[in-house]
């Protein structure tokens, strides 16, 4: 009997085979079977339990020892998620969150990931690390069917923040990405972050903001459609995707996910590191009321940071990082400064900062009040 899962897997396998065969020809057919195994038995082992964004697992900013073998686990979860404005997404996720968790290691460490695809899922999945070298970022070595797991290890050779995402082949790649399957990894220099003069920089808090564009089909009445499962949503979603006009642009998977009761917090005088990823489209982060003191716009820590930016640019398929020292208390809005996407489509977060107001930086000299209309227009330009 041809079940929905069998049909979906068949389509996915055909897409993956054509994609990987094409890539294999381009690389004269990758074959790892004869490569000598690397002995890492002498390295210390670190096991980190990943946490849900915007938060990040405990880690050291500076390490004085040699490389470690750093182990993580990710479970692929397919589920329906309410993303705002009355829309529901048949989502594909790493560990159940959009974005997937931020992993933190240090340059020279070995990253070992165990990837689980539970048997009740419908789709094939894999993972492509933009921080890794070879084999489509690990994508060609990690393709797992429902009910399977795989273990990938790679050496973190380049410091910076990088995207990871699912890339199972062909037209399945963009669908999986815009259905939630992306995250980021931060590879810190072993000696920590440095400013433009090579002096150490540290942060008091780190928040990970994953930006996603979603494409939710509508019915004839203009209402968002809802689907039984991932496979049921595919044909309509593909049609909306190919028009390249998102219905939602959100931070961390949902309109309002980082506002209200979910707002980020900080204290006056704290240095906060913001890691921002967008696996599919360009973005323009801006902190309303603040600045980017130090910004790695391309996300790569071998490059000196830019300073004092008002808005920075995140290229689609990449991640960036910015540090700001909060100088005033109050509510700050962290937005995609395509303001249509920020205000109308959902790409807004809030940071609540406690502390004491500094009138030297800003003061309300006169509160709003009525004025003498005789002066109206006298300051207007001719």
pLDDT classification of 10: cutoffs 50, 70, 90: low
Express as a percent the part of the chain with pLDDT over 70.
89
The single residue of 114, 310, 354, 362 carrying the catalytic annotation is: 310
Q: Residue 113: phi, psi to the nearest 5? A: -115, 130
Express as a percent the part of the chain with pLDDT over 90.
86
Give the domains, in start order, of the chain with CATH numbers.
4-27+44-189 (2.60.40.420), 210-354 (2.60.40.420)
User: Quick one: 347 exposed, middle or buried, by C-beta within 10 A (0-12, 13-18, 19+)?
Assistant: buried
pTM of the predicted model, to two decimals? Answer: 0.92
pLDDT classification of 6: cutoffs 50, 70, 90: low
pLDDT of residue 379: 66
pLDDT classification of 372: cutoffs 50, 70, 90: confident
Distance CA 62, CA 194 (A): 11
The single residue of 92, 166, 172, 241 carrying the catalytic annotation is: 166
The single residue of 93, 106, 112, 130 carrying the catalytic annotation is: 130
- 181 annotated active-site: yes
Q: Kindly list the distances between the CA atom of residue 295 and the CA atoms of 21, 203, 271, 335, in Å, as whole numbers in the listed order.
A: 39, 13, 13, 16
The single residue of 286, 297, 341, 350 carrying the catalytic annotation is: 286
Is pLDDT of 274 > 80?
yes
pLDDT of residue 37: 86
* Mean pLDDT estimate for the chain: 92
Is pLDDT of 284 > 90?
yes
**Mean pLDDT lowest for which of 30-39, 87-96, 251-260, 331-340?**
30-39
The single residue of 125, 248, 276, 350 carrying the catalytic annotation is: 125
**Mean pLDDT lowest for which of 204-213, 278-287, 365-374?**
365-374
- 376 annotated active-site: no
Is pLDDT of 27 > 50?
no
The single residue of 30, 48, 271, 311 carrying the catalytic annotation is: 311
User: Quick one: 71 exposed, middle or buried, by C-beta within 10 A (0-12, 13-18, 19+)?
Assistant: middle
pLDDT of residue 33: 64
Is pLDDT of 162 > 60?
yes
pLDDT of residue 218: 97
- 165 annotated active-site: yes
Helix (H, G, I), strand (E, B) or coil at 343: helix
Is pLDDT of 185 > 70?
yes
Helices 230-241 & 4-26 angle (0-180, nearest 10)? 50
pLDDT tens, 333-370? 999 999 999 999 999 999 999 999 999 999 999 999 99
Comparison of pLDDT for 246 and 382, the residue scoring more: 246
The single residue of 92, 107, 112, 165 carrying the catalytic annotation is: 165
The single residue of 176, 248, 276, 350 carrying the catalytic annotation is: 176
- 297 annotated active-site: no
- 130 annotated active-site: yes
pLDDT classification of 79: cutoffs 50, 70, 90: very high
Q: What torsion do the CA atoms of 28, 183, 206, 255 make, to the nearest 10 degrees?
A: 150
- 291 annotated active-site: no
- 93 annotated active-site: no
The single residue of 112, 128, 297, 341 carrying the catalytic annotation is: 128
pLDDT of residue 353: 98
Is pLDDT of 283 > 80?
yes
For residues 362 and 289, the answer to whether their CB atoms sit within 8 Å is no
- 128 annotated active-site: yes
Other beta carbons within 10 Å of 4: 13
pLDDT tens, 310-320? 999 999 999 99
pLDDT classification of 36: cutoffs 50, 70, 90: confident
- 311 annotated active-site: yes
Is pLDDT of 322 > 90?
yes
């Amino acid at each position: 009997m041809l079940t929905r899962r069998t049909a979906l897997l068949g389509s996915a396998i055909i897409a993956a085979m054509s994609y990987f065969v094409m890539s294999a020809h381009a690389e004269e057919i990758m074959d790892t079977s004869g490569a000598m195994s690397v002995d890492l038995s002498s390295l210390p082992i670190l096991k980190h339990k990943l946490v849900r964004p915007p938060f990040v697992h405990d880690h050291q900013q500076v390490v004085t020892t040699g490389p470690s073998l750093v182990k993580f686990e990710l479970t692929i979860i397919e589920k329906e998620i309410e993303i705002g404005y009355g829309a529901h997404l048949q989502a594909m996720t790493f560990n159940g969150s959009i974005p997937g968790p931020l992993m933190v290691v240090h340059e020279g460490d070995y990253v070992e990931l165990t990837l689980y695809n539970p048997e009740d899922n419908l789709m094939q999945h894999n993972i492509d690390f933009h921080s890794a070298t070879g084999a489509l970022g690990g994508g060609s070595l990690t393709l797992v069917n429902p009910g399977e797991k795989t273990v990938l290890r790679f050496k973190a050779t380049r410091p910076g923040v990088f995207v990871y995402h699912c890339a199972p082949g062909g037209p399945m790649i963009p669908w999986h990405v815009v259905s939630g399957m992306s995250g980021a990894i931060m590879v810190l220099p072993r000696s920590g972050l440095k400013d433009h003069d090579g002096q150490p920089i540290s942060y008091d808090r780190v928040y990970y903001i994953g930006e996603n564009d979603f494409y939710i089909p509508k019915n004839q009445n203009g209402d968002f459609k809802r689907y039984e499962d991932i496979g049921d949503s595919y044909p309509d979603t593909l049609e909306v995707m190919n028009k390249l006009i998102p219905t939602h642009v959100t931070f961390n998977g949902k309109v309002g996910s980082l506002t209200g009761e979910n707002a980020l917090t900080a204290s006056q005088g704290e240095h906060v590191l913001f890691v921002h990823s967008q696996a599919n489209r360009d973005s323009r982060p801006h902190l309303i009321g603040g600045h980017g003191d130090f910004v790695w716009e391309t996300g790569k820590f071998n490059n000196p940071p830019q300073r004092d930016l008002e808005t920075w640019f995140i290229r689609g398929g990449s991640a960036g990082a910015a540090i700001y020292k909060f100088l005033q208390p109050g509510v700050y809005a962290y937005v995609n400064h395509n303001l249509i996407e920020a205000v109308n489509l959902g790409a807004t977060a809030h940071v609540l900062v406690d502390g004491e107001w500094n009138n030297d930086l800003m003061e309300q000299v006169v509160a709003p009040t009525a004025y003498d209309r005789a002066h109206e227009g006298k300051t207007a330009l001719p």
